Chain A
Amino acid sequence: MDIKQMPAIDKDTLKSENLVLNMGPHHPATHGVMRLLLELDGETVVKCTPYVGYLHRGVEKLAEDMTYLRALPLTDRLDYISSMTHNQGYCYAVETLLGVEVPVRAKFIRTMVCEMSRIASHLLWIATHALDIGAMTVFLYAFKEREFILEQFEALCGARLTVTYPRIGGVRNDVSQEFIDSVYDFTNYFPSKVDEYERLIDRNRIWFKRTRGIGVITAEEAVNYGLTGAALRGSGVNYDIRKLFPYDAYDSVDFDVPIGTHGDVYDRYRCRMEELRQSNRIIRQCIERLPKGAIMTKDAPKVTLPSKKKVLTSMESMIHHFMVITKGPINCPKGEVYVATEAPKGELGFYFISDGEGKPYRMRVRAPSFVHIAALPKLCEGGLVADVISNIGSIDIVLGECDR
């Protein structure tokens, strides 16, 4: 055929399809069983649709059939990376519902272990985030300190991940002096370890290129998407529940809330790295100001269990023990309560409807991961495949909490 006879190529009629890539549910970088349906034009992401629910266990429904005390271990399984904060959030919500006041010592202990949990969670985050972007060594550096924290948890309550240490009305057992000493020693050297992680990536040109200006979300958009935690603070919104609505001992310790400006992956990274140092500060202050006293409230006999000795010697206590175990807290008030706490990943809310029984009529968990995943399309669309990975890392999700 003569070239002149060739029909002119009309770009609109040329058939070209986007490549649909199913990232997940099992994929090295989706941080659990999440599935992203990516529509790719070359390497550019045209559309990103997250699919969640692969880890659904019906935690909220299960809790409806359990007394408040028995539902507590379920919350460990929400964010298994930082179960302390989730136990605490749950306990704090139930305490608010039942009107239980926690002793001061227990408040300080809770604050301390929760900040340790936050450090462990952030360390896992920086480890996997850096690994996703290709910096392998940070992963192993961060895991060493995380391992120390988990060992301390094991010494404290016998479990490394699913601790169930905070209880309604206090904590399970008192902290030992060895525990306090080793944690205090940890707070001495931990900031230098944070410097060490930063030295590997913080000023690295490739790290800049992979994180700066990637996944930008403005403050307004971030609020509209319901982002919380460091994902929101990276965009410059000063929203930290520990500061705004202090619970436990957060109003009696000094700490700063790091704020970003650009709302990109790098600022979210900087916020979390700074939070590591702030958490370290909080732990130190908690240890220094740890008061003497009870670790379990004595003012709420209808909620807490009597001591074992009393149960074995006194008839009333035995009946009381039996009632609390089988029926849950006696004379629960009717009503609704929503209580939010600052989990490492963002705002963790527990919403209870009580109909006066010893178990919740309805429990709803506002999980930050679930809300954050909803913002993924906004962050990823228009970027490249490699940016999807940095974005997933930067919003810090855990699927156990998202799917519940």
Chain B
Amino acid sequence: MINETLYNLIITIIKIIVVLSVAMLHVAFAVYFERKTIGHMQRRLGPMEVGPHGILQSFADVIKLFFKEDLVPASADKPLFYIAPVIGIAATMVSLSVVPFFNGFAIANIKVGLLFLFAMSSLGAYAVILAGWASNSKYSFLGGMRSSAQVISYEVSMGLSLVGVMIMAESLNLNDIVAAQQNFPTRLYIIPQFIGFVVFVLSAMAETNRVPFDLPEAEQELVAGYFTEYSGMRFALFFLAEYIGMLVMSSVAVVCFLGGWGLPGFIYSIFSGSSIFISILEVICFLFKLYMCMFFYYWVRSTLPRYRYDQLMSLGWKILIPVSVFNILITGTIKMLVQ
């Protein structure tokens, strides 16, 4: 009995270490990927100096940030100032625990995975608000205010956009949602749930403060928004949280709409003997879809201007929420009729 508990504990810790270290490394390359993608879209090369084609640039940046002086403004609310980035990074990293990277693999395969994700992304808003408040700077304060309003508004539409998926999969467990898509005729929920997908992608952009909804950190208006006063590793934690947040949101999009780790059916019949090989293929499939989503983020960033604060709010409340409610209505009606 004790042995079994110990065994489970060790396995979980190993899983956590693997997922978190992969996620951290992923951030380094996601930043590199972003800089390269945007660079090439803008007729320039992006990072080229550190390592071949600048592939080690992110590591150089991290080392630089690590040795920077850690400045805390004299008038800052110190405990809150210290704890804000930690909340941010913790909330996003914990979200990773429910994401299924291949069939059956998640650090915590809990029944309410989707709700857990929502809870954690709402918790992430505290980091922004607290950072904005604690810095005692007007730019940070405005950034924090904007962010709190934005996250609260878009949380609603994001939650509603996924209700359609919940109705169809009849589960909140992310692994079950993917499995349900495998049994669905189109094998992807994006086809019946296209409206939900669009609403989700827009809300996820707002939720992770990306262009065109990057108002809390609008450089030209608020210098750097809520993390204006942060430097060194504390700044790096916010940066890390933003990119892991993008990773989490992209994986939710992949899991709920794009079939998650699900491979095309014939591959399962060809490699039916080797489950390890299938798992590897599933991880590759998942990551491929994930990076397509990430690429979409970057693509939008290099193309679109930024919304204004009030326009963002009216988009969220007047368009996205009614549309997603309409989507729920349709999905529910069809589900009732089919049954």
Contacts and interface: CB of A to CB of B under 8 A. Distances in A.
Summarize B's interface: helix, strand, loop or mixed.
Answer: helix
A28 B220 contact: yes
A134 B223 contact: no
A134 B43 contact: no
A21 interface: yes
A130 B211 CA distance: 14
Nearest to A130: B305
Nearest to B211: A134
Contacts of B41: 137
Interface residues of B, number: 31
Contacts of B303: 135, 137, 200
Nearest to B141: A19
B205 interface: no
B43 A386 contact: no
A28 B222 CA distance: 9
Given A21-B138, A140-B44, A386 B218 contact: yes
B305 A28 contact: no
Contacts of A133: 220, 305-306
B317 to A, nearest CB: 16
Main SS at interface, chain A: helix
A323 interface: no
Nearest to A128: B220
A210 B212 CA distance: 12
Contacts of B311: 209-210
A28 B223 CA distance: 6
Contact of A43 (B38, B223, B307, B309): B309
Contact of B310 (A19, A43, A206): A43
Interface in B215-254: 215, 218-223
Nearest to A30: B220
Contacts of A387: 308
B218 to A, nearest CB: 7
Contacts of A136: 38, 42, 211, 301-302
Interface in A347-404: 384-389
Contacts of B221: 29, 385-386, 388-389
B304 interface: yes
B258 interface: no
A201 interface: yes
B127 interface: no
A308 B222 CA distance: 57
Contacts of B44: 140
A134 B304 contact: yes
B214 interface: yes
B220 A389 contact: yes
Given A19-B138, A141-B42, A386 B309 contact: yes
Interface in A173-209: 200-201, 204, 206-207, 209
A63 to B, nearest CB: 35
Interface string B139-160: 1011000100000000000000
Contacts of B301: 136
B308 A386 contact: yes
A140 B307 contact: no
A204 B300 CA distance: 13
Contacts of A134: 211-212, 214, 218, 220, 304-306
Contact of B308 (A130, A139, A144, A210): A210
Interface in A219-251: none
Contacts of B220: 28-29, 131-134, 389
A327 interface: no
Interface string B287-329: 0000000000000011111111111000000000000000000
Interface in B97-139: 138-139
A135 B305 contact: yes
A289 interface: no
Which of A22, A27, A134, A207 lies at the interface centre, i.e. has the most chain B CB atoms within 10 A of its CB?
A134
B42 A209 contact: no
A137 B42 contact: yes
B308 A204 contact: no
A384 B211 contact: no
A207 B304 CA distance: 8
Nearest to B314: A209
Nearest to A44: B310
A135 B303 CA distance: 6
A43 B138 CA distance: 12
Contacts of B211: 134, 136
22 contacts: A28-B219, A28-B220, A28-B223, A131-B220, A133-B220, A134-B212, A134-B304, A135-B303, A136-B211, A136-B302, A139-B42, A140-B43, A206-B306, A209-B307, A209-B311, A210-B306, A210-B311, A385-B221, A385-B222, A385-B309, A386-B218, A386-B309
Given A43-B310, A209-B307, 8 more contacts: A22-B138, A28-B219, A133-B220, A134-B304, A210-B311, A384-B308, A384-B310, A386-B218
Interface of A: 19, 21-22, 27-29, 40, 43, 130-137, 139-141, 144, 200-201, 204, 206-207, 209-210, 384-389
